[in-house]
Chain A
Amino acid sequence: MTTVLQRPQIKIPAPDRRVRRERRLTWIARHSIAIVLAIMFLTPVVYLVLLSVMTSQQALTSDYWPNSWHFENYVRVFQVTPLPRYLLNTVIYAVAATGFMLLSSVPAAYALAKLKFRGRNALFLTVICMMMLPPQVVTVPLYLMWAGYGLTGSLTPLIVPMLFGDAFCIFLMRQFLLTIPSDYLDAARVDGCGEWRTLIRVVLPMARPGIAAAGLFQFFYAWNDYYGPLLYTSENESSWTLSLGLASFHGVHHVDWNLVTAATVLAMIPIVVVFFFAQKAFVQGVTLTGVKG
């Protein structure tokens, strides 16, 4: 059907000079708009970087361009603020949350995508509802629960729940696993593989892009998370993460703006690095969340 529609290109007349000129003009227009927009998208980061290498006096002025370049600000911010502590906490949170999430959520996503059992639809609907639930709805009861165990003031309330599945990542990986043909699984089962062995030997290697996407989302989520650390760790500064530390720099420590911006840039760098190494898996993952209805 489509091939028939595509073939007859004859009816479109060969471009004459006027048409060609018009095309070139739209080409230029489109690329100009794209370039202007790209500059606007880059400006905030470029400005931040420039500000971070100024002297603290110049950072208070309306200058765009540093009079002299003080890259040592990036060293100083580690010395005069608790940034090393924040960084360590953020890494602990992001790595542990991602690892735990994968342990608990990959099997659950596999079951929801490929195993037949009673209540599967209900379970999947519950996962969707969890995913859509604003975290503030359950904030107070959960806080009281963790406070009851004396675990507020630490990152534990943010990490431990990841051992019990993350709704968004389960949803994402389920959508990916649906695209794997069941024939492969049936073949493995016929060969005598149990479900767990089928998952580990057959599904995991094929589902690597989907699992990578979910892992990246979880890592980025934890790295960027502000609400969770604010809720559970704000009473204990030694548990603060980067996001919380950055937001509090202004008041708690009398730090200069060039140092605050240096720390802000530092918080963005790992995200950019990880993104460039895993761009494909990530873009694929985003696309997967927007599956056509």
Chain B
Amino acid sequence: MRLRRNLTTLSFVAPLLIGIAVFFLYPLVSAVYFSFTKFDLLTVPQWVGLENYKRMADDPFLLQSVRNTLWMVAVFVPVRIISAIGLSMLLSQLKRGAGVFRTIFYLPALAPPVAATIAFVYLLKPGTGPVNTLLSHLGINGPLWFNSPDWSKPSLVLLGLWGIGDIMIIFLAAVLGVPVSLYEAAALDGANAWHRFRYVTLPTIRPVILFATITGVIYTLQYFDQAAVAGSIASGQAVTGGGISTAFGFPEGSTFTYPLWLYTVGFRYNALGYANAMAVVLFVVALAVTVILLRRSKAFSGEEQ
């Protein structure tokens, strides 16, 4: 009887168990092993000990990609969260057309990242793009946006703000879930709008802010598509063999995020051992962030709620 029940359970999770073994544990262990070796697509891995890890310290592109990704974590994540809270507060207070506005703000989040990036590169084209044309009418000399090493990452942040819909919906649900009685009690105490936000809304939605911060950091650690496409399209250069654009990171490596550099090292320069060393470092960082999430958030514990 008990055996039968176990077999039934197993039949439910067997595919998942295979998936975990083949597509998660096996490549993870391999990545750690490969990180101590040197090889490319044609040669057999050769043990080199810690050499790949030592090499990381002397790789100027790697250091730049770390700086780029840290920049994104420090700017992209908070800007997106603050804007999403603002937008959800605004939506929650609209009396007319809230549904229409919600849909308009949400939809861009679903646009294919490649399509959205192309749209923004066109929109922000330095010479003839509509944004700079508009700015010049106002007497402002628009920046070079995706073509400037200083402005390429802020341009990516703008693109990320356009696709803010997913976390906005999460915050909207949280903001609407704040008990009305709390606001009423605060109003009776003479709290103004800012006080009501600061002392009622913010504490109530704090768990959601934490969740959005951590998932935002994880998302930023793997930020790849938009950076890759923005670099190659803004440069106007051809995408060459193997689909690896020579223009990844354009301009001047300013859009080389860590995963993008990892991909380039592995599949353009064929330094597969080194790429795996980078992967292991990425794994350690992502794991640390995930552990924080698991410790702080009840929803992720396996316990029944």
Residue of B nearest to A245 (CB): B114
Residue from A132, A194, A287 whose CB has the most chain B CB atoms within 10 Å:
A132
* A217 vs chain B, min Cβ distance (A): 10
- Give the CA-CA distance A124 to B9 in the complex, in Å: 14
Q: A238 near B: Cβ within 8 Å?
A: no
Residue of B nearest to A90 (CB): B112
Task: List CB contacts (< 8 Å) of A198-248 with chain B.
Answer: 199, 220, 223-224, 226-227, 230-231, 233-235, 242-244, 246-248
* A255 vs chain B, min Cβ distance (A): 12
- Give the CA-CA distance A289 to B127 in the complex, in Å: 41
Are B294 and A125 neighbours in the complex by a CB distance under 8 Å? yes
Task: List CB contacts (< 8 Å) of B159-179 with chain A.
Answer: 162, 166-167, 169-171, 173-174, 177, 179
Q: A192 near B: Cβ within 8 Å?
A: no
Which stretch of B49-57, B194-202, B227-235 is in the interface?
B227-235
Are A139 and B263 neighbours in the complex by a CB distance under 8 Å? yes
Are B129 and A247 neighbours in the complex by a CB distance under 8 Å? no
Q: B286 near A: Cβ within 8 Å?
A: yes
* B22 vs chain A, min Cβ distance (A): 7
Are B26 and A164 neighbours in the complex by a CB distance under 8 Å? no
> Known: A275-B110, A292-B207. Is A133-B283 also a contact (CB below 8 A)?
yes
> Known: A47-B122, A48-B122, A283-B169. Is A164-B108 also a contact (CB below 8 A)?
no
Residue of A nearest to B124 (CB): A44
Task: List CB contacts (< 8 Å) of B77-96 with chain A.
Answer: 87, 90-91, 93-96
A-B contact list, 26 entries, CB within 8 Å: A30-B90, A45-B119, A47-B130, A60-B128, A62-B127, A127-B16, A129-B287, A136-B222, A137-B31, A137-B279, A137-B283, A138-B31, A139-B263, A140-B31, A145-B27, A161-B23, A163-B19, A165-B20, A195-B8, A246-B118, A260-B118, A271-B110, A272-B107, A272-B110, A290-B174, A293-B208
Binding site for B on A (CB under 8 A): 2, 5-6, 9, 11-12, 27, 30-31, 33-34, 37-38, 41-45, 47-48, 51, 60-62, 64, 104-105, 107-108, 110-112, 115, 117, 120-130, 132-145, 147, 161, 163-165, 170, 175, 178, 194-196, 199, 220, 223-224, 226-227, 230-231, 233-235, 242-244, 246-248, 250-252, 257, 260-261, 264-265, 267-268, 271-272, 275, 279, 283, 286-287, 289-293
